[in-house]
Structure formats: structure tokens, C-alpha cells
Amino acid sequence: MSARKGLFNTSAYGGSRWSGREAAHRDEIGSLWAASGIDSEWGRLRAVIVHRPGAELDASLSDPDAVQMLAPVDLAKARAQHEAMVEAYLAEGVAVHQVAPEGTPTPNQMFCADLVFLTPEGAILARPASTVRVGEERQIASRPISVCRLSVLCAATPLSRAPTPCGWIRAR
């Protein structure tokens, strides 16, 4: 036990040679991290993360319930609506970051908004509760967040099967 106690006097555990960061996370935004957070839900949209619907939606044709869809998805219509949405974003000067997973994406990968919640200082990465959506958070974390230099503040663990709404808490 005394040998273990000795570890806590080393630099790795805050000992005399510990060198902590002096700048706050907020102070590194704009230099180390991109200014990518948000502090309101009504400000100008600057960037989005999307996934173009593909053949993975074919899984909804025979058994929509198995992939947690309400009904079979019309792939041609989904793609046309997606392309129109991307064109509208681009026409307004919004940067569009595509998630293009290696291999076959999950049928729900197109719901990228479920996977990230932005704060003024960075992103909180969600972890979907559904087994159908396992791994989607890795796709979001590996490509767009690294490209955008988003700061991932934490990865959230779902407490229930239902989507969890998030809101702003401001100090008074």
C-alpha cells in the first residue's frame, strides 16, 4: 500500500513536477480548437454534419420494425430530399460535412443530429441506446469532428431508450 501511495507524489499524479495547462479550454478555442460551439438555438447556422441515404435503407423494405423504422423507406425519395436539403444549406453558405462510413452504414446513420449536441465550448457526443445504431457515434467522431476540429467534451451514455432532449443552463 505504501508503494502505491508513493505514486501520487509523482508528476503523473500532480506531484512537484506536474505541469498543468494554464489556459482554460475556452481560451484555446480559435487556436487549438475551431470556434465550433453554439450558445443559442436561433443563431446563424454555419455548418452541418449529414449522411447521404444509401442502400442501407433497403433493410427497411422487408421488415421496417427490425431496423426501427415506422415504414419502408422510399430510397429514391429519401435521396432526392437529402440532395435538396444539402443544396439549400450550400445556397445559404452553410458548410456541409459528409459522414461516409467505411463499409455498410447503419440504417439510421442519416439521423446525424441525434449523435452530437453542441455547447459554447464544443460537442457532446451521444451514444445511442439502440442496438440498431451501435457504432454510429464512432463515424461521427472519426470524420467530421476531426475535420471540423470540434472539441469533444464528453461522450454521453443514454439513461433510457427514449431520445433525451438537451437545453441551455445559464449561470445567473
Instruction: For residue range 103-148, list pLDDT tens digits in order.
Output: 888 888 888 888 887 777 777 778 787 888 888 888 777 755 555 5
**Pairing relationship of beta strands 95-98 and 47-50 according to DSSP bridges:** parallel
Q: Which 3 state secondary structure label does DSSP give 31?
A: coil
- Number of other CB atoms surrounding residue 59 within 10 Å: 18
**To which H or E segment does residue 95 belong?**
strand 95-98
Look at residue 147 in the predicted model and tell me its pLDDT: 53
What is the pLDDT, as a whole number, of residue 13? 67
Instruction: Give the pLDDT confidence score for residue 161 in this predicted structure.
Output: 46
Q: Which one, of 133, 134, 137, lies nearest residue 145 by Cα?
A: 137
pLDDT for residue 17: 73
Q: Give phi and psi for 47, each to the nearest 5.
A: -155, 150
**Three cell numbers written together for 4:** 502505491
pLDDT value of residue 11? 66
Overall fold of domain 23-155: L-arginine/glycine Amidinotransferase; Chain A (3.75.10)
What's the pLDDT score for residue 154?
56
Q: Which amino acid is at 110?
A: M
Question: Measured between alpha carbons, how far is 9 from 34 in angstroms, rounded to an integer?
Answer: 35
The residues of the chain scoring below 50 in pLDDT are 1-2, 159-172
Q: Domain segments of the chain: what residues?
A: 23-155
Residue 168 is predicted with a pLDDT of: 43
pLDDT, residue 135, reads: 83
pLDDT for 151 = 57
- Within 8 A by CB and 6+ apart from 52, the residues are 79, 82, 83, 98, 100, 110
Instruction: Please tell me the predicted confidence (pLDDT) of residue 148.
Output: 57
Q: How far apart are CA 122 and CA 1, in angstroms?
A: 40
